[in-house]
Amino acid sequence: MRRLSLCCPTFPCLASVAVALLTTILPALSACGSRNIAGSQAVITPPPQTQALNKPLCPTPNERALSVNDVTQIITQAVTRAVALNLRATIAVTDREANVLAVFRMTGANPSTLISGGPLGGRAIPSELAAISKAGTCAFFATTGNAFTPRTASFIIQEHFPPGVAFTRGGPLFGVQFSSLLFSDINPRLPLGLSADAGGAPLYIGDSPVGGIGVELDGSYTFDPDPTDNDQAPEELIAVAGTRGFEAPADIRGHQILVDGIALRFVNAPPPTAEPLVNLATQGTFMVIPAFGTQATPRAGVPFLGPGSQFTCGTLGGRPVRIFMPLAAIVPSAQLSVAEVERLLSQAIQQAYSTRAGIRRPINNFAEVNVAVVDANGNLLGLRGTPDAPVFGLDVCVQKARSAAFMSNPNAGAIFNAAGLGAYVSRAAADGIQLNGSVAFSCRGLGDLHRPFFPDGIDCTGSNPCVPNAPGPFSTASRLFTNTNVWSPFNTGLQLDLIAGSLVDILSNYVNPGSVPVTRRPPANLRNGLQIFAGGVPLYKNGVLVGGIGISGDGIDQDDIIAAFGSAGFEAPANIRSDQLIVRGVRIAFVKFPANPNL
């Protein structure tokens, strides 16, 4: 069913005008009664904590992990289904932290697949990389409160939400696909980033997420442009068959989650059923891939928060938090002390525990998020999360913090010019946007300028014919301008162009991602890439940019309110925030709060 639009061809969309007004007014109204003003500083006073339903808090007792036998069973079940369908596939299984436990290639399986659309369209990549990214996507999205798949990802990253419905805004996670890539300095796990190509499913033991399975076979690494056709992808049928005995709890699967009243997608496949299992040894071999630690036999996963895990538990401001051990230290910068970084992290964590989650089941859980603070040059100062925050947000929250700090930096335009991205600087200037520190950009504001239609959600104006609206200054042209029928997740404009060299080089030499030349890497300020959806704001002291704070793990409005309240005492000056910027007659956003946000 398609949603009715409130727009007409010759007048601005009333819904978009309302959103713009709420974007500007609601943060101020939401903050009333929650801030104690003392001079120019603001201190958050969170509401009393009510009992949320999240289960359980850190540390998690008796956390389970996939055993070698579990991995073998999962792959055997998937291969059995592939044989029944007379198909040959490459199958990967990861644990919850996206450690690759096994990759099995069936005899006769296609060794490569092609990226679909965009500047990288037609590039051949090894099938095992696609399978690993699909499995890792499921693992990284999975929590005790929600279970998502690449099909879910496809539903929330396209140029319209829901996909295919004109005159609607871009997907809430537009751009999230370019995260956790192998050149990242935060959590480099996914060779192709988060996948939108159906063919993966999360793995659970009871109500605990323990990993994911990914399948590649058809030679096309793509997405689902039409979720209404209920297509059944063979790769997804095989992946779901592999989950038998390890299925996600029914109540938290993607189609149980509503965003703006719209149910997300999970899989288009029947539940797995028992069938006589094939002899795995006669169907192919386990691939030995040193770069991902795979061997000729499966290996066991690590128990999340347990022995061998990259994560441990701690406290911050009296609240349980999850700590990413490789980046556990909280460090100072020239302008932010350790105490100030801890204050910023603690304020965000406190707000997360008070904020009603947007994408978790059952309702009335608190938001589970990852929080990062960086300095003005993008150096990571602190990283913490709530205990059950989805792992994908680890890299994304740092991207958001860096993006907000970088776009607000007086040297942003010069750095883009030096990186060969001057065309975007010129396009921004043509719209009256100077990348010289005169605007304090939030990630939501950056996202407004990074959509294939501008303003976001208004496809075209006029009538007979309706003339397509030009893209935002940081976006690539919409499919309406390029005479193609299909948008591509590998076609986001500045975000992709910033990392394209690194991505191509690593896909060509993924066994040694550290060999990518410095000249092909993104600028140091954005070393793990740009992120272009809401949840990050810049930080200031006495009107001077000192860094950024980024939030990732829940709905984007929840991420925004946690970032805004986390920044208390270090807020961007009101007169330079991106919501003071008018582009083509449209006010750009800064932050947007959810209605009735607190538990």
The domain spans of the chain are 14-56+337-380+388-488+521-587, 68-292
Equal CATH topology for 14-56+337-380+388-488+521-587 and 68-292: yes
Q: Which residues pair with 221 in a beta bridge?
A: 115
Q: In angstroms, what CA-CA distances link 311 with 3, 54, 292, 329?
A: 42, 18, 19, 13
Residue pointed to by tokens 């976001």: 456
pTM of the model: 0.91
CA–CA separation, 291 and 293 (whole Å): 6
Structure tokens at 556: 């984007």
Of 542 and 5, the structure prediction assigns the larger pLDDT to 542
Contact between residue 113 and residue 191 where contact means Cβ atoms under 8 Å apart: no
pLDDT value at 76 more than 80: yes
Phi, psi of 8 (to 5 degrees): -125, 160
Nearest one of 79, 471, 465 to 285, comparing CA atoms: 79
Query: Cis peptide leading into 271, omega within 30 of 0?
Result: no
Q: In angstroms, what CA-CA distances link 108 with 79, 198, 294, 296?
A: 13, 21, 20, 18
Radius of gyration of the chain (CA): 23
Q: Are strands 370-375 and 41-44 parallel, antiparallel or unpaired?
A: unpaired
Note the pLDDT of residue 247.
98
Contact between residue 424 and residue 473 where contact means Cβ atoms under 8 Å apart: yes
Contact between residue 534 and residue 560 where contact means Cβ atoms under 8 Å apart: yes
**Single-letter amino acid, residue 7:** C
Note the pLDDT of residue 36.
29
Q: What percent of the chain has pLDDT over 70?
A: 87
Say whether domain 68-292 belongs to CATH 3.90.105.10: no
Phi, psi of 214 (to 5 degrees): -130, 145
Note the pLDDT of residue 62.
63
Q: What is the pLDDT of residues 407-455, one digit of tens each?
A: 999 999 999 999 999 999 999 999 999 999 999 999 999 999 999 999 9
Contact between residue 34 and residue 45 where contact means Cβ atoms under 8 Å apart: yes
Return the HEC string of 421-469: CHHHHHHHHHCCCCCCCCCECCHHHHHHCCCCCCCCCCCEECCCCCEEC
Structure tokens at 2: 């398609």
Q: Give residue 113's pLDDT band: very low, low, confident or very high (50, 70, 90).
A: very high
Note the pLDDT of residue 590.
98
Q: What percent of the chain has pLDDT over 90?
A: 79
Nearest one of 413, 368, 383 to 562, comparing CA atoms: 368
Of 393 and 21, the structure prediction assigns the larger pLDDT to 393
Range with lowest mean pLDDT among 34-38, 111-115, 309-313, 493-497: 34-38
Nearest one of 389, 362, 352 to 142, comparing CA atoms: 389
- Helix 392-407 with 127-141: angle, nearest 10 deg: 90
Q: Across residues 269-289, what is the average pLDDT?
A: 97
CA–CA separation, 482 and 122 (whole Å): 17
pLDDT value at 49 more than 70: no
Q: Give residue 100's pLDDT band: very low, low, confident or very high (50, 70, 90).
A: very high
Q: Give residue 491's pLDDT band: very low, low, confident or very high (50, 70, 90).
A: confident
Q: In angstroms, what CA-CA distances link 584 with 20, 473, 589?
A: 14, 11, 14
pLDDT value at 86 more than 90: yes
Structure tokens at 577: 């925030």
Of 190 and 26, the structure prediction assigns the larger pLDDT to 190
Nearest one of 400, 397, 494 to 452, comparing CA atoms: 494
Say whether domain 14-56+337-380+388-488+521-587 belongs to CATH 3.90.1010.10: no
Helix then strand count (H, E) for the chain reads: 13, 22
Length of the chain (residues): 599
Q: Give residue 145's pLDDT band: very low, low, confident or very high (50, 70, 90).
A: very high
How much is the mean pLDDT over the chain? 89
pLDDT value at 28 more than 50: no
pLDDT value at 47 more than 80: no
Q: Is the dihedral of CA 519, 532, 398, 438 positive or negative?
A: positive
Note the pLDDT of residue 507.
84
Letter string b/e over residues 502-516, b meaning 16 or more CB atoms within 10 A of that residue's CB: bbbbbbeebeebeeb
Phi, psi of 281 (to 5 degrees): -65, -20
- Helix 556-566 with 14-31: angle, nearest 10 deg: 40
Q: Across residues 82-107, what is the average pLDDT?
A: 98
